Structure 1
Amino acid sequence: MSHKSKLWSSWKRFGFVTIGLAASLNAQTDSAEEEEVFELSPFQVDASEDSGYRATNTISGTRLNAAIKDIPMPIEVITDAFIKDTGSTDLRQSLAYSAGMIMSSQNDAGKGNSFGTIGGVHNPEGATSNKTQTSYKVRGFITDATLRDGYRRQFATDAANIGRVEVIRGPAALLYGIGNFGGIVNYLPKLPTADEMQHITLSVGNQKHYRAVYEAGNTLDNEINFGYYVTAVHEQNGSYTELAENNRQFISPIFTFRPTDKTEVTIDMEYGKEDKNAVGFQSVRARGDLSSENVANQQDRLERAGFLQFPDKEIRTMRWSGPDTFLNTESHNIRLQATHSFTDNLNVLLGYNTSKVEFDSRDVSGGITNNVGPENLRSTITVIPASVENGDAEFIFGEVTDAIFQGSWSDKNEVIDRDQIRAEVNYNFDLFQNSELFGLQNSFLLGRSEESSEKSVSTRGTIQNQYFYWDPTDSSYMRFGVNGDGTAAPGMERAAQVNDLSWNQGTYLVYQGSWLNERLTAVAGIRRDRNDFRGRVEDFRQDTVTRNDPGAKEKDTSQAGITYKLTKNLSVYALKAEGIMPNFDGNRDVYGNAMDAVTAESEEAGVKFDMLDGKLSGTISAYRIKQTGTPIFYWWAPSPAKGRFDPDADIIYNVSDFNPTVEAEWRNGSFTVAKPQWDAAVDAGAAYQLDGAWYLNATAPEGVAYMDTVFNASKTTNPGWPGWLYIQDDNTNNATLDFASAEAGGYDAYLSGDQESSGWEAQFNYAPNDNMQFVLNYAQTKRSVVNAGAFPEYPWGAGGVDKWAVWYFPDGAWGLSGYSLDDQFLDPSDTSTWQGRGYGAGEKQDDTPRHSLSGWSNFRIDDGALAGFSFGLGFQYESEREYFSGITDGSGQLVTDTNGQRVVLETDTRINIDAMAKYDFKLGERNAHVQLNVYNVMNDQAAYGYIYAKPTEYRLQFGMDL
């Protein structure tokens, strides 16, 4: 049975129960109630009291229309007026002034920049560079929990179709299920207008910006009150960087009608297409380690180096990857929803949402290496540190000879097909209505949501173990299919096919009640989720098929909050909530079991105020969020479930690259001091050759002596590289056979870690009169790693059989990571006593700024010579951001400077200023306007970490009613 058939089967069962419950309750009402006219559904937000930037009600906090000041949670509403004044053209721009939200990150809690996005490790932006354009940080946690009127959306939308944006901070699993720890964003589309309207907006700007928007809406006065609202957009953009440009089209018709007075049906559709050209890396990371004989190798994906620069190019605008990379996106979304009011106090919602997005992309990857490829394309380059602008880094750098760019091309087609069904029943009733003290208002919401997501990814790439080459001093654009000297590059081959199916089923019950003449409001609920995952990976190069079916998991979450009105205009609230992110990637732990869902718990308290007859409103809140079960990957960690090591047999190592006879540039003093022990091992037969390779029996006394001598010498000669000890073949037998990487046993094994975010936020909306508006937001965020993951107890450790396993190796970047055996393991015979020194416990490993402040003001003139003009001015301030934490990717690589100290780099503080000027006027009998938006008024173009600020942009638009 397909996932859609299963979805519908489950849906029908719940639908019958829902309808039966509704019919049973409805049968208890009299005919007079049935004839009452249906007005506003409780599932639809009431925006009638909204004014300018101020909104009074929300639909996102409880899935029911409710006053923001009564909901015990922090809720921010971004109105249509604010979106228009700031000139936002997409959802991310609409959120730019939202407190504590980060739209662009480059350091993400140990995940680094290797997110499989365009540009790979050379893309200086982290998780927020996700091609769906729905990834951002809220309260320090990465999230892509973007909703369209409560239904999950994971690709971009146009701001022209957004009626308002509602931001709910903190975990919110109760109503929205998976994937929201820092918060969720729920945007509501524009609905049919009461009167006929048509409007067109045209805009031009620098960097080749052209945009046209057409909008039309009406509600017909017929038997079914048929209404429509249609939005159509065409936009083109260039970039301040070389070559990059995009072209997109978007159309979104929404229809509503009422087959009965008490039933409303909504048909909401979207279609979007966007083509982006020249999206590859601007430059590559130029890394070198001079103590390793000038080898500049980037294939380990470390990010410790700055970017390669050319005398004839500006580093901030260059695009060395050339014009042949692209990202083309095509998406559609259809939402069918019906609400019915059986009585004033009994309402039902039934909805179905289906969406599909297809990404076609081409990317180029690679890095600087040396002594390979055509000699005519090799040159000498200068390797620079990670932050040459501020000089904070003390990385080893200098000249690298025989350097060359070695790379490959890849094509990817990714299709995501998502379906979601929701059914909700709302029943409300009052008790003791005549008693001011004991009067009780009750509202219950019973809901069921089922969501399936099917993803198919097909990749092609340059023929395995073949590469194209480019001279690293040649600044000309790389081109697909050719080398830097014009010769043909290797062709492409089919690489892999990935098919994943994830499924979430959630049932939730929410209670909202008010007592004491509505002075006390409580919101509480419980939810049960069942999550399933099926994965299949076909690797055509290795001729392997890997299936991942960790089995279904169930999880209960809850939420409880209370608001108390101290006065008519001042309330306090407290909230406790939970969040959940199922293991949709099918990650397994070190014991081979599917990992549990990542969960989060939050505690929050705050004050809400609505004063001066609604002129001043806002929220001040303090919170703490703890996330538990975060998958952390240390490739060298022990994984007992692999079970490949035989502790009863002799310990055998392949030492072809780990002995004094190796003729390699990286050979160093670790081997020299062990030459007598090596000779003794050879004489005793403990070191021997087999099929041309050297092996060492580390169970024999002579083998033990040699290994101990090299290990002890490595501690003092570090960071000298003693060769590669952990090559495995049919003749080896050692504990490193059971390490965490997929190379041992077919799957990557993850540890479980914990992270925490705490702080406080403030949001203010002030409108002293009808002509002035102010919005001010502040967020203080403290982000830290509580637990960097714990190694399991591996029974064959240093105190058991194999004391030279990879997790004991005295390396500065893995193994002991530069620490002594006793410092890294409290008990070396028990691997579970691993201390994780240098891997983040108590540290940030994240670039969320400690302080962020944003504000926007608008002043409109109604009289005099400047009547019709309005002016807006906004700013965004961020304190320092930790863009480099020493741990740079999921493998946990530790980075130290030349003095052996942990490298942590921070950006400078940053302030950005935007401005707007608008003139409203009449063009004949039609309303019209001209608006100018200027972004980055100060033209700040400095580098903040690895990312340069965009130069000044302007947009001039003209709009009029038709």
Structure 2
Amino acid sequence: MQRSLFNNFNQKSKNRGLAAGGATALVTIMALTSSAAAQDQSGATALKPLTISSGQGAEEKRDSETVTAKSSAGASKIKTPLIETPRSVSVVTRKELEQRGAQDIIEAVRYSAGVTTGAYGFDPRFDQVFIRGYSATTIGDYKDGLRQPYINYGTFRTEPYTLERVEVIKGPVSVLYGAGSPAGIVNKISKLPTEETIREVGVLYGTEDRLQGMFDFGGPVSEENDEFYYRLVGLARKGETNFDIGDDRYLIQPGLTWKPDDSTTFTIYGLAQADETDANVGAVTDPSGKVHELRASDPDYDFQKVRQQQIGYQFEHEFDGGITFRQNLRYSHLDLRARYLGIYSWTGTVAHRGASSIRDEMNVFQVDNQLEAKFDTGPAAHAMLFGLDYTNLTSSFGFGMDSVATPAYDFDIANPTYGVSGPTPDYNFSQAEADLRQVGIYALDQIELDRWRFTLGGRQTWVEQDRDTRLVAFGTSSSERVDKNAFSVQAGALYLFDNGIAPFASYATSFEPVTNRSATGTILDPMEGEQFELGVKYQPPGSDILLSAVAYQTIEANKPILINPLLGTYRSLGEVTSRGLELEARAAITDQLDLIAAYTYNHAEITGGSNLGNTPAVTPEHVATLWANYTFAEDTPASGLSLGAGVRYLSETYKDTANATGKNDEAFYLDAAASYDFGAIDRKYEGLTAQVNVRNIGNEKPVICNEGFCYLSQGRNVTASLKYRW
């Protein structure tokens, strides 16, 4: 009787969309208990209340305590179990981020299937991420469901310590998010206020002379008032990384949630962040073509300073009748100032260098309005989403450079010395004002029909981009406008068997207007993409194990390729087709053992335009990763100790799209981690944890060349941290 009662409740919950993670649902059912305490004085068996919470806060808290997330809203903007989502999604939970000690977004996602990093060597200026062979660095950068736009040079940076999770949605998602690449998106979910009290402080020290302090506080504003919750996350970091590349950061991220009742939630949040790294991290390539383990710029002269601020809110209200309205709004500002040295010419072993400067400023306003309706049509249960979003971006850009090399900046590779100083050039080469406006109307229907799950969506997007450019050095100016209207589609089907096996198929399209000019001065055609997926997922019922195998074909047309850096002219690459296979496992096999494994086979080929049949630059055919973490049980002598180890492999890649200058070597890396909970020694130390992470144990530093520019790879990197939670 118990089983039939629970199954009946569970099936009705699914039919009404509760399994898809709609508004908070609190259900109390009565369960039988055989304990003596549950019987009244007459000996009759009493019913004990059993409370089941399917609210978002409880679900996200559960996900943060395992390496296997159960649900995501990234692929449909409706929180849906991953096993019921008919497309490929990888979720990096808070627990995985902490186990691997991720110090940036690159480290956060590089154990996910379909993801490759390091196409530009070690480059902490940007979060360089490729998905299925296509770049998601600038076009696929999202936070809390809103894009962090790019238009000139600078990008918004995200600190992993401020995040609850990172979601990688693979393939086109233009139906939900508008203009974008066929790669997909990396959606970073911020730490927001929770009903649970959070208190954490920590310090970290690492390679090279890297010192960091951080804190995370949250919970109810007061014990007497259960309507307001807060979160305050902060971090300060000072130090160098490999090759004397700076990586300083200071940030504060506050948040406040007002929840007057179970149907309404309003969260306001902010971010103030200051970063400083270097602007030119390229290696020295001498006239013979040999790449030296030397910086082309000077660490003492070089800098890239970025100041970014964000403020926004998330509002949700559930009406009677299964109608929910959500609004996600954010304003962002970015200010970048950079300077660096570059090699102009050679005399013997002496490189003659000149200075360059960059400024970039962006102001971005975004709002996404969503109306979700849950209803039945006969045996089919629908969760239908209607949306209207708007983005307005304004920017100002300037670039300057020395007209001739400066003798004071000469660099002899036979006797390399660093430590030069000098003035910053004016923005005397080019200046630009660029704006972007995007409006989108979209609809998506998630349908449950018995064990079938269907997704069908469409979107109409209007994009306008304006750019006014002055080539100061040449005394010319130009104005460009790109207007693009596009319709995008997304469809998927999945069948959920009782045993947890779920085969699925999906199709999606994307587009991205560009303002890049050809050598004749005309605007290049917009980039377009489409993807077919066929796969199967497996999640044993009741387990924290999720396995997936996916075959895909992704096509991207009209990608711009830089042909003249000084004049800023491009050409369309034509068409690139990637066909591949992804295998991924995220599993909490036991309470002690976590396992994350991924393998990607990606055959990328230029199928249109010039260089037909070639492989795009820095696109590996094979990528494999494996991470395992074991925590010793409480009743063992090693109680409190946790050990982790990881392996990463990338096959060789071509150095350029012409496939004419050889290949970059394959790379093999080993990572390790160890942490210790001092509460195992004495309960008075509960919450005090020490952790050591070693990345690239073997100190492998392959040189990566990409379309004529070569970069150094990061060597061994070690961090040690001490955290206290109470």
* Structure 1 length-normalised TM: 0.65
Residues 383-394 of structure 1 aligned to structure 2 (within 5 Å): none
- Counterpart of 1:450? 390
- Matched residue of 1:160: which SS? helix
- Matched residue of 1:445: which SS? strand
Query: Do 2:627 and 2:645's aligned partners in 1 also have CA atoms closer than 8 Å?
Result: yes
> C-alpha separation between the residues in 1 aligned to 2:570 and 2:192?
48
- Is 1:934 aligned to residue 705 of structure 2? no
Query: Do 2:358 and 2:427's aligned partners in 1 also have CA atoms closer than 8 Å?
Result: no
> C-alpha separation between the residues in 2 aligned to 1:248 and 1:52?
29
Aligned-partner residue type, residue 139 of structure 1: R
> C-alpha separation between the residues in 2 aligned to 1:280 and 1:586?
23
> C-alpha separation between the residues in 2 aligned to 1:525 and 1:765?
29
- Matched residue of 1:622: which SS? strand
Query: Do 2:344 and 2:353's aligned partners in 1 also have CA atoms closer than 8 Å?
Result: yes
Q: What is the CA distance between 1:159 and its match in structure 2?
A: 1.3
> C-alpha separation between the residues in 2 aligned to 1:46 and 1:763?
22
> C-alpha separation between the residues in 2 aligned to 1:427 and 1:222?
35
- Counterpart of 2:631? 860
Structure 1 residues 926 and 44, CA, compared in 2 at 3 Å: closer, same or farther?
closer
- Counterpart of 2:417? 476
- Counterpart of 2:237? 235
Query: Do 2:66 and 2:544's aligned partners in 1 also have CA atoms closer than 8 Å?
Result: no
- Matched residue of 1:549: which SS? strand
Q: What is the CA distance between 1:70 and its match in structure 2?
A: 0.7
Residues 706-717 of structure 1 aligned to structure 2 (within 5 Å): none
Aligned-partner residue type, residue 138 of structure 1: I
- Counterpart of 1:911? 669
Q: What is the CA distance between 1:429 and its match in structure 2?
A: 0.6
- Matched residue of 1:81: which SS? helix
Query: Do 1:915 and 1:937's aligned partners in 2 also have CA atoms closer than 8 Å?
Result: no
> C-alpha separation between the residues in 2 aligned to 1:258 and 1:933?
39
Query: Do 2:534 and 2:551's aligned partners in 1 also have CA atoms closer than 8 Å?
Result: yes
Aligned-partner residue type, residue 507 of structure 2: K
Of 950, 953, 960, the match for 2:714: 950
- Counterpart of 2:490? 559
Query: Do 1:284 and 1:367's aligned partners in 2 also have CA atoms closer than 8 Å?
Result: no
Aligned-partner residue type, residue 68 of structure 1: L
CA RMSD across the alignment: 3.0
Query: Do 2:664 and 2:703's aligned partners in 1 also have CA atoms closer than 8 Å?
Result: no
> C-alpha separation between the residues in 2 aligned to 1:35 and 1:631?
45
- Counterpart of 2:326? 349
- Counterpart of 1:570? 501
Deviates more, 1:537-546 or 1:149-158: 537-546
- Matched residue of 1:46: which SS? helix
Query: Do 1:44 and 1:59's aligned partners in 2 also have CA atoms closer than 8 Å?
Result: no
Query: Do 1:224 and 1:257's aligned partners in 2 also have CA atoms closer than 8 Å?
Result: no
- Counterpart of 1:511? 445
Listed one character per residue, the Cα deviations across residues 551-575 of structure 1 (whole Å, up to 9, x for unaligned) are x220101010000124431111000
Q: What is the CA distance between 1:231 and its match in structure 2?
A: 0.5
Listed one character per residue, the Cα deviations across residues 458-496 of structure 1 (whole Å, up to 9, x for unaligned) are 23332x4575462645523372449xxxxxxx9757333
- Counterpart of 2:533? 604
Structure 1 residues 568 and 885, CA, compared in 2 at 3 Å: closer, same or farther?
same
Listed one character per residue, the Cα deviations across residues 648-697 of structure 1 (whole Å, up to 9, x for unaligned) are xxxxxxxxxxxxxxxxxxxxxxxxxxxxxxxxxxxxxxxxxxxxxxxxxx
- Is 1:77 aligned to residue 78 of structure 2? no
> C-alpha separation between the residues in 1 aligned to 2:531 and 2:459?
16
Query: Do 1:285 and 1:367's aligned partners in 2 also have CA atoms closer than 8 Å?
Result: no
Aligned-partner residue type, residue 874 of structure 1: G
Structure 1 residues 753 and 206, CA, compared in 2 at 3 Å: closer, same or farther?
closer
Aligned-partner residue type, residue 617 of structure 2: D
- Is 1:525 aligned to residue 457 of structure 2? yes
> C-alpha separation between the residues in 1 aligned to 2:253 and 2:166?
17
- Is 1:47 aligned to residue 60 of structure 2? yes
Q: What is the CA distance between 1:949 and its match in structure 2?
A: 4.2
- Is 1:871 aligned to residue 622 of structure 2? no
Aligned-partner residue type, residue 674 of structure 2: M
- Is 1:204 aligned to residue 205 of structure 2? yes
Deviates more, 1:491-500 or 1:40-49: 40-49
Structure 1 residues 443 and 540, CA, compared in 2 at 3 Å: closer, same or farther?
same
Structure 1 residues 941 and 284, CA, compared in 2 at 3 Å: closer, same or farther?
closer
- Counterpart of 2:558? 629
Aligned-partner residue type, residue 506 of structure 1: G
Aligned-partner residue type, residue 582 of structure 1: P
Give unpaired runs (5+ residues) of structure 1: 1-33, 107-124, 289-304, 308-314, 370-377, 382-403, 433-438, 483-489, 636-740, 789-835, 888-901
Of 96, 119, 127, the match for 1:105: 119
- Is 1:262 aligned to residue 263 of structure 2? yes
Deviates more, 1:254-263 or 1:161-170: 254-263
> C-alpha separation between the residues in 2 aligned to 1:324 and 1:63?
45
- Matched residue of 2:298: which SS? coil
- Counterpart of 2:476? 544
Aligned-partner residue type, residue 865 of structure 1: P
- Counterpart of 2:309? 332
Aligned-partner residue type, residue 937 of structure 1: I
> C-alpha separation between the residues in 2 aligned to 1:199 and 1:903?
51
- Matched residue of 2:619: which SS? coil
> C-alpha separation between the residues in 1 aligned to 2:559 and 2:280?
30
- Matched residue of 2:175: which SS? helix
- Is 1:616 aligned to residue 545 of structure 2? yes
Of 835, 843, 848, the match for 2:619: 848
- Counterpart of 1:253? 254
Query: Do 1:217 and 1:228's aligned partners in 2 also have CA atoms closer than 8 Å?
Result: yes
Identity percentage of aligned residues: 19
Structure 1 residues 880 and 530, CA, compared in 2 at 3 Å: closer, same or farther?
same
Structure 1 residues 135 and 99, CA, compared in 2 at 3 Å: closer, same or farther?
same
Of 429, 433, 442, the match for 1:499: 433
> C-alpha separation between the residues in 2 aligned to 1:909 and 1:258?
50
Query: Do 1:43 and 1:63's aligned partners in 2 also have CA atoms closer than 8 Å?
Result: no
- Matched residue of 2:399: which SS? strand
Q: What is the CA distance between 1:596 and its match in structure 2?
A: 3.6
Aligned-partner residue type, residue 668 of structure 2: R
Structure 1 residues 284 and 961, CA, compared in 2 at 3 Å: closer, same or farther?
closer
- Counterpart of 2:595? 774
Residues 79-228 of structure 1 aligned to structure 2 (within 5 Å): 79-106=93-120, 125=121, 129=123, 131=125, 133-143=126-136, 144=138, 145-153=140-148, 154-220=155-221, 225-228=227-230
Residues 356-755 of structure 1 aligned to structure 2 (within 5 Å): 356-369=333-346, 378=347, 380-381=348-349, 405-432=351-378, 439-462=379-402, 464=403, 467-468=406-407, 470=410, 472=412, 473=414, 475-477=416-418, 479-481=420-422, 494-516=428-450, 519-550=451-482, 552-583=483-514, 585=515, 587=517, 594-611=523-540, 613-632=542-561, 748=569, 750-751=571-572, 753-755=574-576
- Matched residue of 1:606: which SS? strand
> C-alpha separation between the residues in 1 aligned to 2:118 and 2:24?
53
> C-alpha separation between the residues in 2 aligned to 1:180 and 1:916?
38
> C-alpha separation between the residues in 1 aligned to 2:87 and 2:211?
40
Which structure: greater strand fraction? 2
- Matched residue of 1:769: which SS? coil
> C-alpha separation between the residues in 1 aligned to 2:281 and 2:62?
48
> C-alpha separation between the residues in 1 aligned to 2:220 and 2:285?
57
Aligned-partner residue type, residue 720 of structure 2: L
Structure 1 residues 538 and 130, CA, compared in 2 at 3 Å: closer, same or farther?
farther
Q: What is the CA distance between 1:72 and its match in structure 2?
A: 0.3
Query: Do 1:535 and 1:547's aligned partners in 2 also have CA atoms closer than 8 Å?
Result: yes
> C-alpha separation between the residues in 1 aligned to 2:109 and 2:578?
20
> C-alpha separation between the residues in 1 aligned to 2:295 and 2:511?
41
Aligned-partner residue type, residue 444 of structure 2: V
> C-alpha separation between the residues in 2 aligned to 1:877 and 1:207?
25
* Structure 2 length-normalised TM: 0.85
